[in-house]
Amino acid sequence: SYVLTQPPSVSVAPGKTARITCGGNNIGSKSVHWYQQKPGQAPVLVIYYDSDRPSGIPERFSGSNSGNTATLTISRVEAGDEADYYCQVWDSSSDLVVFGGGTKLTVL
């Protein structure tokens, strides 16, 4: 089955740029989606189709996807961005959805 690998944690100072990676075999050929989840809350979609932002999501959030790595980039990080972030793809070979293990973003 298809596996997505994320770093367990990423730390960044306020105002700096955070990059959260999602690794998978030839993930560049798939569409990658990203969710933000704050403690005690449901996940919220922040990036879909590799790099598109839903309405209401700040432009500071962006995404890219190439080769074996997809990346969620958060520019000018704010304290309110502290959360868990999950990448997700659909595996066409199995017709199933796969989530990455999640990355805890800490704002120092």
Partner 1 sequence: EVQLVESGGGLVQPGGSLRLSCAASGFTFSSYAMSWVRQAPGKGLEWVSAISGSGGSTYYADSVKGRFTISRDNSKNTLYLQMNSLRAEDTAVYYCAKVYQLPERKGYYFDYWGQGTLVTVSS
Question: Comparing C-alpha atoms, which of 105, 33, 22 is closest to residue 68?
Answer: 22
Which residue number, 16 or 29, has a Cβ lying nearer to partner 1? 29
Least Å from the CB of residue 92 to partner 1: 6
**82: helix, coil or strand?**
coil
The first and second tokens of residue 78, run together, are: 């704010």
Least Å from the CB of residue 102 to partner 1: 4
Which residue number, 77 or 89, has a Cβ lying nearer to partner 1? 89
Least Å from the CB of residue 13 to partner 1: 26
> Using CB under 8 A as the criterion, which residues of the chain lie in contact with partner 1 when the complex forms?
1, 30-31, 33, 35, 37, 41-45, 48-49, 54, 84, 86, 88-90, 92, 95-102
φ/ψ (deg, to 5) at 81: -85, -10
Rg (CA), the chain: 13
